[in-house]
A and B are shown apart, each in its own frame.
Chain A
Amino acid sequence: MSQSDTPVLELRNVTKTYSVKQGLLGKSKPLTAISDVSIKLARGEVLGLVGESGCGKSTLANILLGLEAPTSGEVLVDGQTLGGQDRLALARRIQPIFQDPYSSLNPRKNIYDIIALPLRVHGIGDEASRQKSVREILDIVGLPARVMNNYPSQMSGGQRQRVAIARALIMKPEIVICDEPTSALDVSVQSQILNLLNELRQEFGLTYLFISHNLAVIEHLATRVAVMYLGRIVEEASVGGLFDAARHPYTDALLKSVLTPEPELGIPDTHLGMSYPNPIAPPEGCHFHPRCPAASDLCKSKRPEPLFDPNGRIECHLHSP
């Protein structure tokens, strides 16, 4: 175990740029998927990551899983840079849980083979001890051991997601990247999976990066929240700070758009008139200004500098340093 003040996961000014070809003979243009992202995650924390589709959430998750390399910047796990560690060592510390349990389990393999894959790849134990580990982890995620011989197509969505969780946890990672883990599930099953994730975190001291578009779920589970817009983190704060007193106009709009089951409230007006901008041609100045109800001339020309204070981080001219 490392010292408590070293973050278990840290991103330093991570940027990822793709080059995108437009049309058959078009020139390649750079697309900045994430730009200058810095995050620190302490052990046992749950960082909720919210933003619209195309804001760079998934790219960030892929970088953390080692599936893509950042164009610049550093990813540190327990204070060590990610580039210096080999892929297997990284895999032992960070594991993913994906959104769609219908796509994340190989339909041709039975449940035992799916869950035991990480152990096989890392050459951990013999067949007998793997059997035992799989039984244990199945018990932990609340599935009976007899499902080992079943195939994913024989299971319900909730059961499949439990299998995916078991696969992620069998090597006892420290960090779990949860990418919309409940959005493909039925309402009655979602809460079971959320409860399970919460339980597991407490029991095993896990650290989560929890990506979701469901703000009610983020509020329920996260300890801190980062809001992403066009590849940048525009606001970061503790869950209480963000949900009780949002500072960025975009965060405010996101919070307004949450539909809680309260019939008397009607359908909210978010005032986000325009649609999400094209990331190949991001707006000048503050990327959010074309949709921002509080935009001034300054916002159109100059990008706001991030402000760091005890509440967290914010990038907005309304809260300039």
Chain B
Amino acid sequence: MTLAPSTNSVDPLLQDIVGPTPGQQLRRRFFGHRGLMIGASVVAVLLVIALLAPVIAPHDPYAQDLLARMKPPVFLGGTWEHILGTDHLGRDYLSRLIYGARVSLLIGFVAALISGTIGTAMGVAAGYFGGRTDAVVTFLINVRLAMPVVLVALAVVAILGGSLQVVIGVLGLLLWDRFAVVMRASTLQVRGREYVSAAQAVGASTPRILLSEIMPNILNNLIVVITLEMAHAILLEATLSFLGLGVQPPTPSWGLMVSEGKNMMLFEPWLVLIPGAVLFVLVLAINLMGDGLRDVTAPENRS
């Protein structure tokens, strides 16, 4: 390259490596996305609260005090002893809320993990191998989509009895459909890229191609679906618990708290509104995070 034997400084137009690495680019977009930052911070705060529940909670969430039943929260004229008041058995509402975050987040994470594993395996296999595998997976997806989730979950929980493990298991085995659909479509798209053909022509084994060529390029979609399905699982758990077929009392669960408060709703609406609002905030935050992640990772770095 013959450049002018120019003055002291390097010519600003002359640079042959352009732009930041994909990692740097992602980080920049990540921190520049407001919705994503808000959602992620809310989820992070709730996660810390859930993890540190024994330290933070002012009372034992199971301790009943029948003399101090249905104390109103501070902002409705209550005392600082029970900041968010107490429920119909005199248990501290704030402490139950804090322990309830554990249940919600645990169910969200584990259910998304189980369904994510099932759905991704099916979707990637269908997308990569095509043909008969694809036909079978597509059929299974259709069968699954024909089943009403809430009804099936209700039936199974009714038979097996409600408990944390059963709820997680049922949701994990039911919510894989979106993973399968999205992963199948993304795999189909990536499979046609020439770098996959190049790896095949080098003689790379199928597991190697799936793990090192396909997976890294569909991971962004997977993460988005994980967040959305987590929110979905948390809502379903609340629904099941509200119907009395989810997590069983006295375990503190937000859905259960709404359910227990519903009889007193006309007189003490905060019993329903507080857990409802927290549930709303968590699900909204997770969805904000999912949407943000999609925005941040979607425009693939084709300058």
- Closest Cβ of chain A to B220, distance in Å, is 10
CB–CB A108/B193 < 8 A: no
Q: Can you name 6 extra interface pairs (CB under 8 A) apart from A65-B200, A167-B198?
A: A91-B202, A95-B202, A102-B302, A121-B204, A151-B301, A153-B301
B131 within 8 Å of A (CB atoms): no
CB–CB B198/A107 < 8 A: no
A256 within 8 Å of B (CB atoms): no
Question: Quick check: which of B14-22, B65-73, B133-141, B233-241 contacts chain A, the rest being far away?
Answer: B14-22
B303 within 8 Å of A (CB atoms): yes
Residues of B within 8 A of A66 (CB): 201
Residues of B within 8 A of A108 (CB): 22, 216-217
Contact of B301 among A91, A98, A107, A114 (CB under 8 A): A107
- Closest Cβ of chain B to A131, distance in Å, is 18
- Closest Cβ of chain A to B139, distance in Å, is 16
CB–CB B20/A154 < 8 A: yes
Contact of B195 among A104, A150, A151 (CB under 8 A): A104
A106 within 8 Å of B (CB atoms): yes
A-B Cβ contacts below 8 A, count: 86
Contact of A98 among B20, B197, B204 (CB under 8 A): B197
Interface string of A148-162 (1 = CB under 8 A from B): 001101111001000
Known A-B contacts A65-B201, A96-B198, A96-B201; A156 and B217 likewise in contact (beta carbons under 8 Å): no
CB–CB A91/B203 < 8 A: yes
- Bound-complex Cα distance A104 to B194 (A): 4
Contact of A154 among B21, B194, B202, B212 (CB under 8 A): B21
Residues of A within 8 A of B205 (CB): 121
Known A-B contacts A87-B203, A106-B216, A121-B202; A151 and B197 likewise in contact (beta carbons under 8 Å): no
- Bound-complex Cα distance A79 to B17 (A): 45
Q: Which of B189-218 contact A (CB under 8 A)?
A: 193-195, 197-205, 208, 212-213, 216-217
B11 within 8 Å of A (CB atoms): no
CB–CB B202/A118 < 8 A: yes
Residues of A within 8 A of B198 (CB): 96, 98, 104, 164, 167
Q: Which of A81-123 contact B (CB under 8 A)?
A: 87-88, 90-92, 94-96, 98-100, 102-109, 114, 117-118, 121-122
Residues of A within 8 A of B19 (CB): 153-154
Residues of A within 8 A of B212 (CB): 109
CB–CB B202/A147 < 8 A: no
Residues of B within 8 A of A24 (CB): none
Known A-B contacts A102-B302, A150-B17, A153-B302; A107 and B22 likewise in contact (beta carbons under 8 Å): yes
Residues of A within 8 A of B201 (CB): 65-67, 91, 94-96
- Chain A contact residues (Cβ within 8 angstroms of B): what range? 35 or more
CB–CB B203/A122 < 8 A: yes
Residues of A within 8 A of B25 (CB): 153
Residues of B within 8 A of A121 (CB): 199, 202-205, 208
- Closest Cβ of chain B to A199, distance in Å, is 18
- Closest Cβ of chain B to A223, distance in Å, is 24
Size of the B side of the interface (Cβ < 8 Å), in residues, is 29
Return 20 A-B CB contacts under 8 Å, by A number: A66-B201, A91-B201, A94-B201, A96-B197, A98-B194, A98-B198, A102-B302, A105-B195, A107-B22, A108-B216, A108-B217, A109-B212, A150-B17, A151-B22, A153-B21, A153-B301, A153-B303, A154-B17, A154-B21, A159-B16
Residues of B within 8 A of A154 (CB): 17-21
* Most chain A beta-carbon contacts within 10 A, residue among B193, B194, B303: B194
Interface string of A58-71 (1 = CB under 8 A from B): 00000001110000
7 A-B pairs closest in CB distance: A91-B203, A104-B194, A153-B301, A108-B216, A98-B194, A88-B203, A106-B195
- Bound-complex Cα distance A155 to B197 (A): 21
Residues of B within 8 A of A103 (CB): 193-195
Residues of B within 8 A of A117 (CB): 199, 202, 204
Residues of A within 8 A of B193 (CB): 103-104
Beta-carbon nearest neighbor of B216 in chain A: A108
- Closest Cβ of chain A to B219, distance in Å, is 8
Residues of B within 8 A of A159 (CB): 16
Residues of B within 8 A of A94 (CB): 201
Residues of B within 8 A of A104 (CB): 193-195, 197-198
- Bound-complex Cα distance A142 to B257 (A): 68
Residues of A within 8 A of B200 (CB): 65, 67
CB–CB A67/B213 < 8 A: no
Residues of B within 8 A of A150 (CB): 17, 21
Interface string of B17-36 (1 = CB under 8 A from A): 11111100100000000000
Residues of B within 8 A of A107 (CB): 22, 217, 300-301
- Closest Cβ of chain A to B199, distance in Å, is 7
Residues of A within 8 A of B22 (CB): 107-108, 151, 153
Beta-carbon nearest neighbor of B195 in chain A: A106
Residues of B within 8 A of A92 (CB): 203
Residues of A within 8 A of B217 (CB): 106-108
Residues of A within 8 A of B197 (CB): 65, 67, 96, 98, 104
Residues of A within 8 A of B300 (CB): 107
- Bound-complex Cα distance A151 to B216 (A): 14
- Bound-complex Cα distance A102 to B301 (A): 10
